[in-house]
Chains A and B, each alone.
Chain A
Amino acid sequence: MKDRRTRKSAAGAACGLAGLLLSVFCYAPGARAARFVSINMCADELLLRLADPADIASLSYLSRDARNSTIATQAAAFPVNRGRAEEVMALAPDLVFASAFSAPATLSMLRRLGVPLAVLDVPTTFEAIVAQVRGVASRIGRPEAAEREVHLMNGRLAGLRRELPLSPATALVLQANNIAVGAGTLIDSVLAEAGLVNLAAQAGIVGYGRMPLEAILIRPPDILIVETDNEGAPALATQAPRHPALAALARRGAMRTVDMPSRLWTCAGPGTVEAVAYLRRALQGKTP
């Protein structure tokens, strides 16, 4: 998933059309290195993939936490911020990347202060990921980086699709507090690419919805997918999908449980293809 990054070379890349439409600011590479700041972990990943490292002034502190982030090692080389308006201002950024889920107070403060801001939405399909990658790349003046990433991702997806079995298995993703992941989510798209039918979506859950244990037991999925990351520190919420009744179901051979590191699908980006690959390996019985 680590890609080769080229030093700033051809400075001729023009400002992309998407960039022009999205904002007033559009970075045109010049003599001085740009100062891009990200206050969102998912935007961090896109910057690391697309931007010239010399242009990255700061990433969010969350990206250094290997439990939740897939880019912890790369992010260690960059200064980090905690996403507060004051520290962002102090970085004198040319462009700040945030998420639609960033703190509203911070976003409105940055807008008031006139800081160029790119607020990224959260793609839920691989097509939307491609569009976002191209949009971000054009705003930082590196459209060729976007095409490289998109090409790699689509190639990877096509390769995984060729290995798909003929009959899809049903799957249920059970998050903390027994929240099931339904239709219209990134995870739903990942399941589809991994050749799985999302049972929660079939049950009519759009977005995220609670799935009672009894409902799971009466109509079990072939594959139960449980996220693993927070289990170092216990909470009732994260223990809920580990209920003994589900374990009993698995013991009877009625269902298989697959552990999923949730950081693989926390962010929508070119790296999300790793979540598909992980599930494919797990389903084939290999250690993922």
Chain B
Amino acid sequence: MSTLRPLTHRQTVAALAMVAALLTALSMAVGETRLDVFAAAADFVHGRDSLASLILVELRLPRALLGAATGFGLGLAGAAMQGLLRNPLAEPGVMGISGAAALGAVVMFYAGLTGVFAFALPLGGMAGAAAASVILFALAGRGLGTMALVLAGVAINSLAGALTSLALNLSPNPYAALEIVFWLMGSLADRSLADIALALVPAAPGWWLLLTAGRALDALSLGEDVAQSLGFNLRWLRIRLILGTALAVGSAVAVTGMIGFVGLVAPHLARPLAGREPGRVLPAAGFVGAILTLGADILLRLLPTQPELNLGVVTALVGAPFLFLLLRRLRGEA
């Protein structure tokens, strides 16, 4: 019998990954119809054309995978931004990156470009996210304080929200104007395998860019001068994180709409488990983000509301009080 030792970092991340995988599987067991998931999976594996396997593969699988991937990307981006800006409130949602991504996707979609070229949708999202990140990181480079940076995020968020609303109102389709709800309060409902491709093909290289920035972020946590003397190029680090965030967040938001607060909460929950160094927080925050998103998406399908709540509503209900707590703690420190 070995004594109980705290988990190594590797083990912590592996455990979080396993919980995320478990929730992905659990997510596929939840739906609007009663379904024998194991029989449906067996049908699919043996190539039997059953309606149950169609539901499992065409509806529930994309939803579960998209939940995991979106949450992973948001958690990762949140951790990277908090590391780079050394700001505990930084995250794609609060800082307006998700909002700008939604605007980019909205312009592409309602202008009809995605009908011609499907990848215009994530491209629009990524362009929006990149534009907002460039603005934010430029402001941060000028030594803007924590609160000023958050206010810059508020400004980007409101502008992006207003322009999104404008773009939707300009559409001749009478349904478009009502769809602001989806873009501001995202959802994974009725996504398809095609959406998985649109979100994951660009997101995967984005995750790689963010995950491999760990050592540079660790050095940066000792101060810019130390990081530079250790041979890390901070300009390149910023560019790398802008690209990574744009790829990971922009493509996800383009498919799911904005899912707020996951990027804020995930790194803070990951730190007590994985340690405070940004390099350690990164992968853990990614998996915590996936766990949070999948959990919220499972919860909202178990609630008896009809139609189901938007995922963005549920994450905001959990995340907004968390933001208040953070603000109180920050005031205590100041």
Contacts and interface: CB of A to CB of B under 8 A. Distances in A.
B58 A248 contact: yes
A252 B47 CA distance: 13
Contact of B175 (A176, A212, A215, A248): A176
A244 B194 contact: yes
Interface string A232-256: 1111111010011100110010100
B110 A234 contact: yes
Contacts of B115: 234
A210 B190 CA distance: 13
A252 B49 contact: yes
A233 B33 contact: no
A177 interface: yes
A233 B306 contact: no
Interface string A94-126: 000000000000000000000000000000000
Interface stretch (B166-174, B233-241, B243-251): B166-174
Contacts of A230: 173-175
Interface residues of A, number: 27
Interface residues of B, number: 31
Interface string B36-77: 000000000000010110110011000000000000000000
A271 to B, nearest CB: 22
Contacts of B109: 234, 236
B54 A244 contact: no
A127 interface: no
A217 B55 contact: yes
A220 B51 contact: yes
A83 to B, nearest CB: 16
A173 B205 CA distance: 42
A90 interface: no
A215 B32 contact: yes
Contact of A238 (B31, B33, B49, B173): B173
B192 A244 contact: yes
B304 interface: no
A24 interface: no
A144 B110 CA distance: 49
B54 A248 contact: yes
A237 B178 contact: yes
Contacts of A249: 51, 54
Given A214-B31, A214-B32, A217-B54, A245 B175 contact: no
A210 B306 CA distance: 9
B175 A177 contact: yes
A11 interface: no
B227 interface: no
A233 B190 contact: no
A218 interface: yes
A210 B189 CA distance: 13
A223 B59 CA distance: 21
A177 B31 CA distance: 18
Nearest to B115: A234
Interface string A177-207: 1100000000000000000000000000000
Given A210-B307, A234-B112, A235-B179, 18 more contacts: A176-B175, A212-B32, A212-B33, A213-B32, A214-B33, A217-B54, A230-B175, A233-B172, A233-B173, A234-B115, A235-B110, A235-B171, A236-B109, A237-B176, A243-B190, A244-B58, A245-B54, A252-B49
5 contacts: A212-B32, A214-B35, A230-B174, A237-B175, A245-B192
Interface of A: 176-178, 210, 212-215, 217-218, 220, 230, 232-238, 240, 243-245, 248-249, 252, 254
- Give the top 9 A-B pairs by smallest Cβ distance, nearest first: A237-B175, A245-B58, A233-B173, A212-B32, A235-B175, A235-B173, A244-B192, A214-B32, A214-B33
